[in-house]
Amino acid sequence: MKHEGWAEVTGVLGLSLDPDQLEQLGSFESLVREHAIPLGMVAAADEGRLRERHVQDCLRAATVVGAADRTSYDLGSGAGLPGVVVAIACPSLQMTLVESRRPRAAFLQLVVERLGLGNARVACVRVETLTEPVDLCFARAFTRVARAWKSAEPLLSPQGRLVYFAGERFEPAELPKDTVSTMVTTSALARSGPLVIMSRQ
């Protein structure tokens, strides 16, 4: 079964996913291995640790999605990390995978179709062309935190938040002064660095 071992992964984060969702996670991992790594979208050195380093790391973002959150952007989605993972874990959240590079957008479209992700769509556009406000923006390996906030802030609804994946060496001093920020760490994934949840003051 493709979802074998995923229950332990999600349990570490306190997430409860059904067998279909676990199957989707396994299928996504396979698609990344088969297509994204050969295309250079994910480092070849990470092939043996895709689950821990990428998929499980991205699942952290699903834990901060609230019941009132309905719409979201994954900025510079790349291989769908974290957008596809969050879309699988949070089926009530509409996810737009924003990726301006056509080969990567084509891979994302393949993923959405293969996994039957009815709550995800691909937008092959630059972030600055987006206009529709959303409840959440996700940014992982997108850009530095100040620039990520500058890109996300115009796209957020009044109560919207940016979920930013910070690295191990992240310094709170890097945060823009005009934001309210909360850092969320996961003890089991301490080496991943914190998630920084940012909103307007």
Q: pLDDT tens, 146-168? A: 999 999 999 999 999 999 999 77
Strand partners, 94: 71
Q: Is the pLDDT of residue 124 over 90?
A: yes
pLDDT value for 81:
95
Please tell me the predicted confidence (pLDDT) of residue 6: 65
Nearest residue to 135 via CA among 52, 53, 67, 42: 67
184: its two tokens: 């969320």
Tens of pLDDT, residues 132-150: 999 999 999 888 899 999 9
Residue 170 scores a pLDDT above 60: yes
Identify which has the larger pLDDT, 22 or 172.
Answer: 22
When mean pLDDT is compared across 76-85, 86-95, 192-201, the lowest value belongs to 192-201
- Taking 60 as the threshold, does the pLDDT of residue 188 lie above it? no
Torsion of CA 71, 163, 44, 186, to 10 degrees: -120
State residue 199's pLDDT score. Answer: 96
Distance CA 91, CA 105 (A): 21
Angstrom CA distances, 195 to 62, 139, 198, stand at 11, 10, 10
Question: Among all chains, which residue has been given the structure tokens 């530095």?
Answer: 144
pTM of the model: 0.91
- Residue 13: the pLDDT is 77
For residue 13, give the nearest of 63, 48, 49, 51 by alpha carbon: 63
Going by C-alpha positions, the residue among 185, 177, 180 that lies closest to residue 156 is 180
Of the candidate CATH numbers 3.30.750.24, 3.40.50.800, 3.40.50.150, 1.10.287.1120, the domain formed by 6-200 belongs to 3.40.50.150
Percent residues over pLDDT 70 in the chain: 92
Question: What pLDDT was estimated at residue 25?
Answer: 94
